[in-house]
Amino acid sequence: MRSIWKGHIRFLLVAIPVRIYNAIETSEKIQFNQLHRDDFGPIGYDKRCKKCNEVVTNDQITKGYQYEPDRYAIIEPDDVAKIKIKTTRAVDIVGFVDRDEIPSTFYDAPYFAGPDGPVSEKPYALLREVMKQTGKIAVGKVVLRDREDLVAVFPHEDGLVLQKLHYPHELRKMEEVPDLESVQKLDAQKLNKNELKLATTLVQEMTTTLSEIDTADNYYNALRALIDSKIKGRQITEFEAVEEVPRLDIMSALKKSLQASSRKPMVKAAEKKKPQITLVKPRAAKKRKVG
């Protein structure tokens, strides 16, 4: 695992040397290239002006902020350079908060923060353990790629995770969700007690641990199998019935769900299921006459 950033986690007079690593395995993502169907040539990125329909070069491109339809405030690179924030190569912790104080919608990209050499081992372990024992997480700021990011640092297993946070102004508000006003009025006192009791029993019946739940990416596995078969020169066909969602009243649905839950726990299977793919051998290609 290669580090992508090197610096310090710093609070007051304490500075812990760390290296930052991507927590997401991007190489596992399946990506496709656009190809010309006639000759399978890659399709390039065409930088074409939508106003004059001309292809432009990089030096002919500038940036603009649209404040009205078809009206822009032009922002040149020199303008942006004037507001660049000085890079300190440090995650500056500004405080420690309870984990539940940060809404889940604030969390963005996760990174692993590892110790950088023997000198950081003891203070690194000290910070990890004190946050474990107090239940607090650190909130700080760091300058990455000329932008000041808000981050959270918290213990995970034997190490630390640094997770970028969204700024409050970047997030929409829950009350802006359409048709939510009528739901807000339905608190526990106004819900049907029998339905609430059955739903609570169903949740308790289905309570498990994440390690027991089937978290396999079935679509990825099927897509990977399809690609591998294509590479081997096979043709692929697949049929999968669309399951219709039953329409029952809430009480009947809860009762049936509770019965199904008590019969068959919703946990991962003991054996990993293979993607349901039917391989069809290709027909023999006709020989073409040459000349």
- The CATH number that domain 5-25+84-170 falls under is 2.40.290.10
**Boundaries of every domain in the chain:** 5-25+84-170, 189-280
Residues β-bridged to residue 144: 147
Is beta strand 14-22 parallel, antiparallel or unpaired with respect to 90-98? unpaired
By mean pLDDT, which of 111-115, 118-122, 169-173, 187-191 is the weakest? 187-191
| pLDDT score, position 104 | 92
What is the per-residue pLDDT for 125? 95
Separation of alpha carbons 171 and 100, rounded Å? 17
Query: How many beta carbons lie within 10 A of that of residue 8, not counting itself?
Result: 19
pTM above 0.75, yes or no: no
pLDDT digits 0-9 by tens, 214-258: 877 777 777 778 778 777 776 655 545 555 555 567 778 777 777
Which ranges constitute the DSSP H helices of the chain? 77-81, 121-134, 181-184, 193-205, 218-231, 250-263
At 162 the pLDDT is 96
Angle at the Cα of 84 from the Cα atoms of 78 and 85, rounded to 5 degrees? 170
Residue identified by tokens 């660049």 is 84
Instruction: Please give the Cα distance from 159 to 115 (Å, whole number).
Output: 9
Query: What is the pLDDT of the chain when averaged over all its residues?
Result: 80
Taking CA atoms, 75 is separated from 50, 81, 83, 101, 255, in Å, by: 19, 10, 12, 37, 61
**Is the predicted pLDDT of residue 282 greater than 60, yes or no?**
no
